[in-house]
Amino acid sequence: MRADLHLHSTFSDGSDTPSELVDRAHQYGCDVIALTDHDSTDGVAEALTRAETYGMTLIKGVEVSIPVKELGTFHVLVYLPTGTKTPLEERFGELRSQRQDRNERLVRSLRDSGIEITLEMVEAKAKEGNVARPHFAAVLIDLGVVETIDEAFDRYLGDTSPFYIEKEGLTIDELLVLVERSNALASIAHPLTLRIDRAGLRRMLYGLKDQGLFGLECHYSRYEPRIREDLVELAMEVGLSPTGGSDYHGTFKVGLNPGVGEGDLSIPEGYVDYLLGRLFV
């Protein structure tokens, strides 16, 4: 079995439509995939229809970003039951108006600095999906303000830039309550993004496990094998299930492909079976 539990489409900040994403996952031999767009499950229906043509298992997922003072941003992957709209998805609808206000404020801030950017330009990059920072980065490249997406984040869009606007949304406690009410499973994505040492991460994970956290993304595409092994050891110690994925965004995050990441990604079948068993019980 080849699986990828962390993928993004045009419904958040990926460059592939849900159908194109499934096609690419099939090209790389995936049997099980999760579409985990940011704060949205709107692309799942299209992806599910395409996955069925290949006999592929498609998990309805979402990635939720939660800013935490001094730690940086929690990125939480949530895997949801299909066939019903969950309390978590209903909450996303309430947050959309706040996201629109944030995008408008960022455009105004960039324009005040002399950059001729408009919200219409950014929305055109997002196509049918939610506007996200990579779409701003793509416009900044088109305008010749920066040369790469990394430069755009370093200078204008990252959480240490003077233009950064903190996203309003859920706290980790609120999210885990909604996950439980939704009969879903939550896993911390790429945990080394957090500004915390291993001992602090261990303590934090024990606390979140008591609140219902299911997993830890250990098999992450851009972690070295020894880091993946260390995270698996930590997850097993705490009592969390290791998960994994490529974090594929198409052309917005170059060098990655579904199921294989940079070429050496492999999620053990037993972990995937356990997640599926818990999710579709």
- Kindly write down the DSSP assignment for every residue of 59-96, as one continuous string: EEEEEEEEEETTTEEEEEEEEE-SSS--HHHHHHHHHH
pTM to 2 decimal places: 0.83
The neighbouring-strand residues paired with 153 are none
Helix and strand totals (H; E) in the chain: 10, 7
Residue 247's identity, in one-letter code, is: D
- Residue 70 sits in a domain whose CATH number is 3.20.20.140
Q: What is the pLDDT of residue 281?
A: 66
> With left for phi above 0 and alpha for psi between -120 and 50, is residue 118 left, alpha or beta?
beta
Between residues 158 and 99, the one the model is more confident about: 158
Least confident of 123-132, 137-146, 209-218: 123-132
Least confident of 16-30, 125-139, 207-221: 125-139
What average pLDDT does this structure show over 166-192?
Answer: 93
Does 248 lie in the same domain as 200?
yes
What average pLDDT does this structure show over 119-132?
Answer: 86
> 134 is in which domain, residue-wise?
93-157
Is position 105 within any domain?
Answer: yes
144 C-beta neighbours (distance < 10 Å), count: 7
Q: Which of 157, 187, 202 lies at the terminal end of a domain, its last residue?
A: 157
**For residue 43, pLDDT beyond 90:** yes
